[in-house]
Amino acid sequence: MTQPATSVSHILMPRLPYPDNALEPVISAKTISFHHGKHHQTYVDKTNDLIKNTPLATLSLEEIVKAAAKNDAQKAIFNNAAQAWNHDFYWNSLKQNGGGQPRGDLLKKIEGDFGGFDALAKALVDEAVSRFGSGWAWLVADHGQLKVMSTANADTPLALGLTPLLTIDVWEHAYYLDYQNRRADHVKAVIEKLIDWDRAAARFKMV
């Protein structure tokens, strides 16, 4: 991540790991300004409001997500904290001049578990497009096996004991200004041009 996302009693808003216009033309600076500057900021602010003067205020953002996921009474905390975590992870799944294919051990694992990179890319697009409503498409490690999955709304593999390697945001605010209702075109462009496979590979090494 770009900087520590938490301190005692306060979740910090992380900076983007690149300029607002770095992901153009796939994701415009205007979309980034709303998505990061408004939506992500709101999740961080609401999380801080909700955990204030509670035992959760001394935990890291990741710890808050995991704790709130187990408590139905803390659904609002989970929704906002998980969205704050998901978004920070999302920004750090992308980079300027990204895309292409991973290398080394991660590529070998993809070939073994999916039959090839093209099959993985298709699975990611299919999961992202078939997710009804808002949510996320993920590449995760599950006890050593790579899987593609999607989650609805604020749900996150983090709360399921899985290890996320990368994610693609398919909430409409992630792409509507640039692609309107063409979610599939957006997802394909993200995979082809923006995914940070080096960072995904580094996460894979820690599994």
pLDDT at 32 over 80: yes
pLDDT tens string 150-172 = 999 999 999 999 999 999 999 99
Bigger pLDDT: 134 vs 3: 134
For residue 203, the number of C-alpha atoms closer than 13 Å in the C-beta half-sphere is: 21
Q: What is the pLDDT of residue 189?
A: 98
- Please give the average per-residue pLDDT across 20-42, as a whole number: 97
Give the β-pairing of 135-142 and 145-152. Answer: antiparallel
Q: What is the pLDDT of residue 207?
A: 86
Q: What is the pLDDT of residue 74?
A: 97
Q: What is the pLDDT of residue 5?
A: 41
Q: What is the pLDDT of residue 7?
A: 40
Q: What is the pLDDT of residue 10?
A: 81
pLDDT tens string 77-124 = 999 999 999 999 999 999 999 999 999 999 999 999 999 999 999 999
CA atoms of 98 and 195, how far apart (whole Å): 5
CATH architecture of structural domain 28-91: Orthogonal Bundle (1.10)
SS3 149: strand
- Please give the average per-residue pLDDT across 48-61, as a whole number: 95
Six-digit token pair at 15?
């900076």
- Please give the average per-residue pLDDT across 116-138, as a whole number: 97
Q: What is the pLDDT of residue 107?
A: 98
Cβ pair 168, 183 in contact under 8 A: no
Query: What is the rounded (10 degree) CA torsion for 112, 85, 193, 149?
Result: 40
pLDDT at 3 over 90: no
- Please give the average per-residue pLDDT across 24-51, as a whole number: 97
The domain limits of the chain are 28-91, 104-205
- Please give the average per-residue pLDDT across 53-76, as a whole number: 96
pTM metric for this prediction: 0.93
pLDDT at 141 over 70: yes
Which is nearest to 83 in space by CA: 64, 106, 99, 107? Answer: 64
Given the structure tokens 């078939």, which residue do they identify? 130
Class of 104-205 per CATH? Answer: alpha beta
